[in-house]
Amino acid sequence: MARVVVDVMLKPEILDPQGQAVQRALPRLGFEGIADVRQGKRFELEVEGPVDAAALRRIHELAETFLANTVIEDFTVRVEEPAVSEEAPA
């Protein structure tokens, strides 16, 4: 089973109150040096069968019509590589 990830972010010109709230909180938490924060959605789809161009096209369509609200959001679709989640040094 392959995993396809759809990331949905607000378009750059659209206000992102969520990201802004995080950013405003950073100084209070003692974090400096982060110029901007945007918050979006991440969808992980577990796809049965091969993730070929046709499958990707369908997922793209799904993202466009359903997962993202393209009036205000952009999205990207990608197949997740085997070893994805490289955690930062703890």
Partner 1 sequence: MTSQSLDTVEHAERTPGTELPWAELGLKEDEYARIREILGRRPTGAELAMYSVMWSEHCSYKSSKVHLRQFGEKAPTEGPGAEAMLVGIGEQAGVVDVGQGYAVTFKVESHNHPSYVEPYQGAATGIGGIVRDIIAMGARPVAVMDPLRFGAADHPDTRRVLPGVVAGIGGYGNCLGLPNIGGEVVFDACYQGNPLVNALCVGVMKHEDIHLAKAAGTGNKVVLYGARTGGDGIGGASILASETFDAAADGDSGTGRPSKRPAVQVGDPFQEKLLIECTLEAFHAGLVVGIQDLGAAGLSCATSELASNGSGGMRVELDDVPLRDSSLSPEEILMSESQERMCAVVEPGNVERFLEICEKWEVTATVVGEVTDGDRLEIFWHGEKIVDVDPRTVAHEGPVYERPYARPDWQDALQADDPGRLPRPADGKELRAAALALLSSPNQAGKSWITDQYDRYVLGETVLAQPEDSGMIRIDEESGLGVAVATDGNGRYAKLDPYEGARLALAEAYRNVAATGARPLAVTDCLNFGSPEDPAAMWQFAESCRGLADGCRELGTPVTGGNVSLYNQTGEAAIHPTPVVGVLGVIDDVTRRTPMAFADEGHLIYLLGETAEELGGSAWSQVAHDHLGGRPPRVDLERERLLGEILIAASRDGMADAAHDLSDGGLIQALAESCLKGGKGARIVVPDGTDPFVFLFSESQGRALVAIPRSEEVRFTDMCAARGMPAERIGVVDGEELDIQGQFTLPLTELREAHERTLPELFG
Partner 2 sequence: MTGTTGTAATSAPTGPARTAGRLGRIGVVTFPGSLDDRDARRAIRIAGGEPVALWHRDKDLHQVDAVVLPGGFSYGDYLRCGAIARFSPVMQTIVEQAKQGMPVLGICNGFQVLCESHLLPGALTRNDHLRFICRDQRLRVENNRTAWTTDYTEGQEITVPLKNGEGGYVADERTLDALEAEGRVVFRYTAGPGTPEEQANPNGSRRDIAGITNEAGNVVGLMPHPEHAVESLTGPTTDGLGFFTSALARLVA
Please give the residue ranges that form the binding site for a copy of itself (CB under 8 A): 1, 7-9, 19, 22, 25-26, 29, 31, 33-49, 53, 55-60, 62, 65-67, 76-78, 84-90
Q: Which is nearer to partner 1, 66 or 79 (CB)?
A: 66
Alpha-carbon distances of 69 from 43, 57, 73, rounded to whole Å: 14, 18, 5
By the criterion CB under 8 A, which residues form the site for partner 2? 10, 13-15, 17-18, 21-22, 25, 28-29, 39, 66-67, 69, 71-72
Beta bridge partners of 73: 10
How far apart are the C-alpha atoms of 63 and 2, rounded to whole Å?
17
